[in-house]
Structure 1
Amino acid sequence: MTNTSKSALSGIRVIDMSRVFAAPVGAQILGDLGADVIKIERPGVGDDGRGYGFSWVPGKDGIETRHSSFFTVSNRNKRSVTLNHSKPEGQEILKKLVETADVLIENYKVGDLKRFGLHYESLKAINPRLIYCSVTGFGQDGPMAARPGYDGLFQATGGMMAVTGIPEGQPGAGPLKTGPSLVDFVTGHNTALAILGALMYRNRTGEGQYIDIALLDSSVAMVSHIMQDYLISGNAPPRLGNGGNGGGPADLIYCSDGIIYLTAGTDEHYRRLTVLMGQPELFTDARFDSNFKRGKTNRAELMEIINAWSRQFPTAEVQAMLDGEGIPAAKYNELADVWEDEQVRHRNLRARTPHAWAEAGYVDLIESPLARMSESPASIRMAPPMLGEHNREILNELGYDDARIAALEEARII
Structure 2
Amino acid sequence: MKHDKRHTVLGRLGGELGATEAPLAGITVLDLSRVLAGPWATQMLGDLGATVIKVERPDGGDDTRLWGPPFLQDGRDDSDAAYYLCANRNKSTIAVDFSTPEGAALIAGLAKRADILVENFKCGTLAKYGLHYAAMQAVNPRLIYCSITGFGQTGPYAGRGGYDFLIQAMSGLMSVTGRADGEAGDGPLKVGIPVSDLFTGIYAANAILAALHHRHSTGLGQLIDCALLDSQLAVMANQGANFLLGGQVPIRRGNAHPNVVPYRDFPTVDGTIVIAVGNDAQFRALCRLLDLPDIAADPCFSTNAKRLLHRDQLETRLRQATASRSSADLLAAMEAHGVPGGPINTLEEVARDPQVKARGLIKEMTRDDGTKIRAFGYPAQFSRSQPVYDKAPPRFAQDTADILARQLGLSKDEIDALCAKGVIATEHCARNG
- Is the TM-score greater than 0.5? yes
Distance (Å, rounded) in 1 between the aligned partners of 2:152 and 2:229: 8
2:409 matched to 1:399?
yes
> Per the alignment, in what secondary structure is the counterpart of residue 301 of structure 2?
coil
Distance (Å, rounded) in 2 between the aligned partners of 1:286 and 1:16: 59
Residue 400 of structure 2 aligns to which amino acid in structure 1? Answer: N
Distance (Å, rounded) in 2 between the aligned partners of 1:199 and 1:65: 37
Shift of 1:357: 4.2
Shift of 1:136: 0.2
Counting only pairs closer than 5 Å after superposition, residues 371-386 of structure 1 correspond to structure 2 as: 372-386=381-395
Shift of 1:122: 0.8
Per the alignment, residue 334 of structure 1 pairs with: 346
Shift >6 Å, 4+ stretches: none
8 Å CA contact retained: 1:356, 1:362:
no
> Per the alignment, in what secondary structure is the counterpart of residue 171 of structure 1?
coil
What is the percent sequence identity of the aligned residues? 39
> Per the alignment, in what secondary structure is the counterpart of residue 352 of structure 2?
coil
Shift of 1:382: 0.9
Per the alignment, residue 390 of structure 1 pairs with: 399
8 Å CA contact retained: 1:63, 1:357:
no
TM-score, normalisation: structure 1: 0.94
Residue 396 of structure 1 aligns to which amino acid in structure 2? Answer: A
8 Å CA contact retained: 2:20, 2:384:
no
Shift of 1:310: 1.8
Shift of 1:174: 2.0
> Per the alignment, in what secondary structure is the counterpart of residue 304 of structure 1?
helix
8 Å CA contact retained: 1:244, 1:263:
no
Of 96, 100, 107, which aligns to 2:120? 107
> Per the alignment, in what secondary structure is the counterpart of residue 202 of structure 1?
helix
Shift of 1:278: 1.2
Moved more, 157-166 or 250-259: 250-259
Per the alignment, residue 10 of structure 2 pairs with: none
8 Å CA contact retained: 1:137, 1:147:
yes
Distance (Å, rounded) in 2 between the aligned partners of 1:237 and 1:215: 21
2:178 matched to 1:165?
yes
Of 26, 32, 35, which aligns to 1:17? 32
Per the alignment, residue 323 of structure 2 pairs with: 311
2:423 matched to 1:413?
yes
Shift of 1:53: 4.7
Q: Which runs of 5+ in 2 are unaligned?
A: 2-18, 425-433
Moved more, 34-43 or 393-402: 393-402
CA deviation vs aligned residue, 1:30-63 (integer Å, no higher than 9, x gap): 000000000000002201222225421117xx64
8 Å CA contact retained: 2:122, 2:149:
yes
8 Å CA contact retained: 1:23, 1:105:
yes
Distance (Å, rounded) in 1 between the aligned partners of 2:245 and 2:93: 48
Residue 262 of structure 1 aligns to which amino acid in structure 2? Answer: I
> Per the alignment, in what secondary structure is the counterpart of residue 245 of structure 2?
helix
8 Å CA contact retained: 2:20, 2:386:
no
CA deviation vs aligned residue, 1:228-284 (integer Å, no higher than 9, x gap): 110112221332211124422111112222221101221111111111111111013
Per the alignment, residue 431 of structure 2 pairs with: none
Residue 316 of structure 1 aligns to which amino acid in structure 2? Answer: A
Moved more, 31-40 or 169-178: 169-178
Shift of 1:162: 1.2
Per the alignment, residue 141 of structure 2 pairs with: 128
Counting only pairs closer than 5 Å after superposition, residues 351-370 of structure 1 correspond to structure 2 as: 351-357=363-369, 361-370=371-380
8 Å CA contact retained: 1:248, 1:266:
no
Moved more, 34-43 or 396-405: 396-405
8 Å CA contact retained: 1:87, 1:413:
yes
2:207 matched to 1:194?
yes
Q: Which runs of 5+ in 1 are unaligned?
A: none
Shift of 1:64: 3.5
CA deviation vs aligned residue, 1:282-310 (integer Å, no higher than 9, x gap): 0132442331342x333233222222222
8 Å CA contact retained: 1:273, 1:327:
yes
> Per the alignment, in what secondary structure is the counterpart of residue 180 of structure 1?
coil
Aligned length: 407
TM-score, normalisation: structure 2: 0.90
CA deviation vs aligned residue, 1:349-384 (integer Å, no higher than 9, x gap): 1111112347xx2011111102x1111122221111
Counting only pairs closer than 5 Å after superposition, residues 5-404 of structure 1 correspond to structure 2 as: 6-58=21-73, 63-294=76-307, 296-357=308-369, 361-370=371-380, 372-397=381-406, 398-404=408-414
Distance (Å, rounded) in 2 between the aligned partners of 1:235 and 1:329: 28
Residue 333 of structure 1 aligns to which amino acid in structure 2? Answer: N
Change in 2 beyond 3 A, CA 1:216/1:66:
farther
> Per the alignment, in what secondary structure is the counterpart of residue 14 of structure 1?
strand
CA deviation vs aligned residue, 1:178-236 (integer Å, no higher than 9, x gap): 00000100000011001000000000000110110000101111111111110112221
